[in-house]
A and B are shown apart, each in its own frame.
Chain A
Amino acid sequence: MHELSITQGLVEAVLHRTGERTVTAVNLRIGPLSGVLADAVRFCFEVATAGTPMAGARLRIDEPQGRGRCRNCQDEFTLSDLILLCPCGSADVEVLSGRELMLMSVEVA
């Protein structure tokens, strides 16, 4: 499960910045096309933060919608997976959003 190593990387990146300070909240943005499941990250978070100044921190994950634009008909539509197919039949679709995999901010005491 790659979410575990990604969550461990997240903890490392936060602690690198916050040092010994107590982290009270972590804000992430994870899109539905990122290949990472927000629920799996929630599941790993407690394990990965145990025994660190991040233990007990609130985890908020913003899950933006996937959006695509067809290069053929210029239509914009919602993408729920990586099957890039416009209702017009064209597969030449530009992904506008949904691939986000970001550590946005943290709150420290």
Chain B
Amino acid sequence: MCTTCGCGDEAGTRISNLAGELQTPGPGHLHSHTDEHGRTYTHEHPDSHQHAHADSHDHHPGHADGHHHADPGTETILLEQNLLAKNDLLAATNRGWLAGRGVRAFNVMSSPGAGKTTLLVRTLTELGGRLNAGVIEGDQETSLDADRIRATGRPVIQINTGAGCHLDADMLRHGLDALSPEPGSTVFIENVGNLVCPALFDLGETAKVVIVSVTEGDDKPQKYPHMFMAADLVIVNKSDLLPYVDFDVDECLRRIRQINPRAEFITLSATTGEGLADWYGWLDGATSPAAAPTPGAARPEPLTGSLTEAH
């Protein structure tokens, strides 16, 4: 991570705009990062908005409170801070930034290939002008997903994380800088396909949407409890394949309930369109952060999928 700004640059993150070019830097701070392969990246931060970095830059560690002297020669410095504290602080900044503009941001997470891009493309196409939305695409490499989104005519920003396996709050901040979403609009964030670490990194999003597809097995919630615990909405995708696979929707939902009593459920098929109305209904009901500052707070009841409704 870069000590100037806390960018998660260890894997050589790159952010590119619609035209597929690297985002051109505005007046900001210039610094370079060297990744684990020895490549050096230099970037400036487009300071189109205030970038509240987490560091307080206390340069007097020797005079800081909360330490005592153990034995002559060594000194113990008490720190007692969360290892994710910096990310959490940047996430809180994002949350405030989004709330200030009334922008809703949905962090969409799943295993590789569960159908995130397919669902987003279909949603943007079908809702058309009814939903003013842009997309931030997170992938390790390539802009293939961003190209699929761009074909819908919606603004899209690609974040390539290189070797990094998740988006973090600083990457989202840079993505939002580049996307510059209109006040009152919606931003879908397609996280890197991975059910493990994206769960640990709060982005400051309005809600976390986790997609599991029926070809993955109904024991996914048990195998990846952190992800399902963090979810506000769980989508069971590829319902069109249910007749061909050994996936018990009720069983999957029961397992999710054991880990997360408050998540909502929707079963759908992003290719046939079955169940999509529930998803659109959820999007309608998901309140903007300006209206409901606490994410994951009360949403209209009728959108909550019940065990029976899921069939």
Interface residue ranges, A against B (CB under 8 Å): 1-2, 4-6, 8-10, 12-19, 21, 24, 28, 35-36, 81-85, 91-92, 101-109
Contact = CB atoms under 8 A, between A and B. Distances in A.
Given A8-B10, A83-B225, A91-B258, A103 B79 contact: yes
B259 A108 contact: no
Given A2-B165, A103-B81, A106-B76, A83 B3 contact: no
Given A2-B166, A35-B199, A104-B79, A17 B1 contact: no
A13 B73 contact: no
A106 B229 contact: no
B61 A18 contact: yes
A76 to B, nearest CB: 19
A106 B77 contact: yes
Nearest 8 CB-CB pairings of A with B? A2-B197, A82-B225, A35-B226, A101-B83, A105-B78, A17-B61, A91-B258, A103-B79
Contacts of B191: none
B194 to A, nearest CB: 9
Chain A binding surface, main DSSP class? mixed
Contact of B200 (A14, A28, A36, A85): A36
Contact of A24 (B3, B74, B83, B261): B74
Given A5-B10, A13-B79, A102-B80, 16 more contacts: A2-B165, A17-B58, A17-B64, A18-B61, A19-B61, A28-B83, A82-B225, A84-B258, A85-B258, A91-B257, A101-B83, A101-B84, A106-B76, A107-B70, A107-B77, A109-B74
Nearest to B80: A104
Contacts of A15: 3
B259 A83 contact: yes
